[in-house]
Amino acid sequence: MKQTILKIHPDDNVLVALTDIPAGDVITYGPDTFTTIQMIPAKHKVAIHEIKAGDSIIMYGVLVGKAQFDIASGGLLTTSNIKHAANGMSTESKHTSWQQPNVSEWQGRTFKGYHRSDGSVGTANYWLVIPMVFCENRNLEVLQEALVKPLGYGRKKTYETKALQLINKVKAGGGIEEVLFTEIESGDGLDREAKVFPNVDGIKFLTHTGGCGGIRQDAETLCGLLAGYITHPNVAGATVLSLGCQNAQVSILQREIEKRSPMFDKPLYILDQQTIGKESDIIDQALRKTMAGLIHANQYTRQPAPLSKLTIGLECGGSDGFSGISANPAIGYTSDLLVALGGSVILAEFPELCGVEQNLIDRCVEEEDANRFVSLVRTYAQRAEEVGSGFDMNPSPGNIKDGLITDAIKSAGAAKKGGTSPVVDVLDYPEKVVKPGLNLLCTPGNDVESTTAEVGSGANVVLFTTGLGTPTGNPITPVVKIATNTNLYNKMSDIIDLNTGTIIEGEETIEQAGERILDYVVKVASGEVEVCAVRHGQDDFIPWKRGVSL
């Protein structure tokens, strides 16, 4: 019989509904029996015993809220009767030992990647075109129009075909009813020539709104992020367009590149418009140099590499009440497997670690890293409070509707992505991952800003869990979308790659799902599977300005 309710941790005083539970149902869970006094929607929480006003709400074994009013046994937890609360932080304790998972069947396993001279291995092979400042975005658009389709990187024209059919109906005198309800054909597939450079996955144009204005620190941080993309193992080289007078000077970019790759030897073509002059001249030079770079990039081919060369970014977005009990712990187990194999993982989204900081502090191998983590979290929280916000305002309306009613509840589930391994390094945005193991990276909870940052720090695959659905992707790194529940996977299968609703339904354990995900990652890293975000050309790229973003 399918389980209808779940207690996540032995210390919890609330249960999670796995299905809708009607009012008046008698629930027995272990030694506890109670009657629901109202309907408990799936993904929401119900009190096991009476909870008095001011009492702690415990979930995942940690403090996630305080009762504002008395909550009867069998009562539903809502934003009206509980409020956010979280434990403090201390660097006094350490618990860095961990039970490594059995990875015997993964030993000697390889993926086929692109080997770079610095020893890193890419899961893809892209050429970048990057502006140093937003003033150059139009030139990038001109280059994109000139290069992408002729080189064979055009996307599907299904929607263009549909639009043309509707336009023709309007031209023929069709009215609103005909446009809204008349059946139209879905299109004729790919609008793509054969690739001129078969070993190059594409040319990516990283337009942005930064580089000038704002504060100088924003420009310096942007240069660090762009350097992270240029030196990334998934990138063969880059064409950089500079206006010349912007805050984000080329010299800063070059310094950041050297910081990340002292022996940098990829083709890098830097063009300064105020030096070159006419738009036609800079476009001409950019076309020629980019073509030369593509010839170089096409010389790379996929070769076997150990799984230790994988760096996986961990991300969640559009989370629901199942995220912390299905998809997030599943990729947490994937993370532990990869760490045991010598690989690297990145846990980010600091506003979504609120309430579970102590667990991560305790897992820091070095006291210096524990102190740095505390400093970064406190500074971030203080900045949010100074503008009248705070981490407690992090859950979105969609999160709350689906059971994540305090930031601490959301965070306790989000942190499960990091598995159980020790924390080997704590990084501030946009620093590069240099150590194998679990790395903490300071980023916002914003999906695209955080994914952009993880890739800039070296993630060559990103695992992205979602309970509500999101199309998020990245220009150079495959983003594997993982559904927390089967209904979502079936509903949005065109943008979601994997389903962990099987855990909720009792068909699979967390460990089995984690191993299945790692097997999928190996196929993605080898170019054997194209994830939905890549297939749809979902090239989301948003640099984080170091202001408040939750």
- Give the CA count within 13 Å in the CB-facing half-sphere of 260: 26
Structure confidence at residue 26 (pLDDT): 93
More confident residue, 516 or 404: 516
Verify that 277 and 331 share a domain, yes or no. no
Same domain as 281, residue 312:
no
What is the residue whose two structure tokens read 């030196």? 231
CA distance 483 to 473: 15
Q: Provide the pLDDT confidence category of residue 193 given band limits of 50, 70 and 90.
A: low
Burial of residue 428 (number of CB atoms within 10 Å: 0-12, 13-18, 19+) = middle
DSSP character at residue 21: B
Domain boundary among 274, 299, 324: 299
Answer yes or no: are the C-beta atoms of 20 and 4 closer than 8 Å.
no
User: Contact 302/526 with Cβ under 8 angstroms?
Assistant: yes
Rounded to whole angstroms, the Cα distance separating 125 from 118 reads 15
**Statement: residue 387 has pLDDT above 80:** no
pLDDT greater than 90 at residue 44: yes
**HEC assignment per residue over 27-41:** EEECCEEEECCCCEC
Q: Is residue 345 part of a domain?
A: yes
Q: Provide mean pLDDT across the span 145-164.
A: 83
447 assigned to some structural domain: yes
Question: How many angstroms separate the CA atoms of 218 and 209, rounded?
Answer: 11
pLDDT greater at residue 442 or residue 177: 442
The answer to whether position 168 is within a domain reads: no
Q: How many domains does the chain have?
A: 3
Q: Domain holding 292: CATH number?
A: 3.40.50
Indicate the SS3 state at residue 462: strand
Strand partners, 114: 122
Tokens of 401: 């509707």
Residue 286's contacts (CB-CB under 8 Å, 6 or more residues apart) are 129, 139, 143, 239, 241, 269, 271
The 423-428 sheet, strands edge to edge: 423-428, 437-442, 344-347, 311-316, 461-466, 479-483, 498-499
Task: For residue 76, give every residue at least 6 positions away whose Cβ sits within 8 Å of its Cβ, in sequence order, or none.
Answer: 38, 39, 40, 44, 45, 46
* Domain shared by 431 and 457, yes or no: yes
**CA gyration radius for the chain?**
25
Tell me how far the alpha carbon of residue 275 is from its chain's centroid. 39
Average pLDDT over residues 293-311: 98
pLDDT band for position 408 (50/70/90)? confident
> What span, in angstroms and rounded, lies between the C-alpha atoms of 253 and 39?
57
Domain holding 76: CATH number? 2.30.130.110
Q: Is residue 408 part of a domain?
A: yes
Q: What pLDDT was estimated at residue 549?
A: 65
In a domain, 179, yes or no: no
| Lowest mean pLDDT, pick from 150-159, 273-282, 350-359, 499-508 | 150-159
- The amino acid present at 389, given as its one-letter code, is S
Say what percent of the chain tops pLDDT 70. Answer: 95
Per-residue pLDDT at 157? 63
226: pLDDT strictly greater than 80: yes
Q: What is the mean pLDDT of residues 537-548?
A: 88
The predicted-structure confidence for 115-140, as pLDDT tens digits, reads as follows: 999 999 999 999 999 999 999 999 99
Residue 148 exposure: Cα atoms within 13 Å on the Cβ side = 16
If asked whether residues 291 and 394 sit together in one domain, one would say: no
pLDDT in tens, 334-373: 999 999 999 999 999 998 898 899 999 999 999 999 999 9
Q: Which two tokens stand for residue 439?
A: 């790395």
Residue, of 319 and 187, whose pLDDT is higher: 319
3 state SS for 158-192:
HHHHHHHHHHHHHHCCCCHHHHHHCCCCCCCCECC
Confidence (pLDDT) at 158: 66
Can you read off the two tokens belonging to residue 53?
């006003």
The confidence score (pLDDT) of residue 104 equals: 95
Closest CA to 503 of 241, 263, 328: 328
Do the domain assignments include residue 505? yes
Does the pLDDT at position 154 exceed 90?
A: no
Q: pTM value?
A: 0.93
In a domain, 90, yes or no: no
Structure tokens at 282: 């800079």
Start-to-end CA span in the chain (Å): 41
Looking at the fold, whether 491 and 386 belong to one and the same domain comes out as yes
**CA-CA-CA-CA dihedral for 416, 373, 234, 228, to nearest 10:** 160
**pLDDT for the residue 93:** 65
Which two structure tokens, joined as six digits, stand for 323? 């995220």
Considering the domain architecture, whether residues 322 and 450 belong to the same structural domain is answered as: yes
Spatial distance between the Cα atoms of 208 and 220, rounded to a whole number of angstroms: 14
Answer yes or no: is pLDDT of 191 > 60: no
Residue 508 predicted with pLDDT over 70: yes
Decide: 76 and 38 in contact? Cβ < 8 Å: yes
pLDDT at 1: 47
The token pair that represents 83 in the structure block: 């409020």
Q: Is residue 187 part of a domain?
A: no
The conformation of residue 365, written as its DSSP 8-state character, comes to: S
- Decide: helix, strand or coil at residue 345: strand
Residue type, 395: P
pLDDT tens per residue across span 446-463: 999 999 999 999 999 999
Q: Is the pLDDT of residue 310 over 60?
A: yes
User: Is the predicted pLDDT of residue 290 greater than 70, yes or no?
Assistant: yes
Same domain? 270 vs 403: no
**Residue that terminates a domain, selected from 27, 50, 83:** 83
Quick one: 414 and 310 in the same domain?
yes
Q: What is the DSSP letter of 193?
A: P
Instruction: Give the β-pairing of 110-115 and 303-306.
Output: antiparallel
Integer CA distances (angstroms), 41 to 18, 19, 21, 486, in order = 8, 7, 6, 16
Please state the separation of Cα 173 from the chain's center in Å: 46
As a whole number of angstroms, the distance between CA 111 and CA 528 comes to 10
pLDDT confidence of residue 548: 64
Domain membership of residue 48 as a residue range: 5-83
Question: If you average pLDDT over every residue of the chain, what do you get?
Answer: 92
- Based on the fold, state whether residues 239 and 377 are members of the same structural domain: no
Same domain, residue pair 22 and 73:
yes
What is the number of H-type helices and E-type strands within the chain?
17, 22
The verdict on 333 and 473 lying in the same domain is: yes
- From the list 483, 451, 438, the residue with the least C-alpha distance to 465 is 483
Instruction: Let me know: does 474 contact 452? Beta carbons within 8 Å.
Output: yes
Co-location of 350 and 488 in the same domain: yes
pLDDT of residue 114: 98
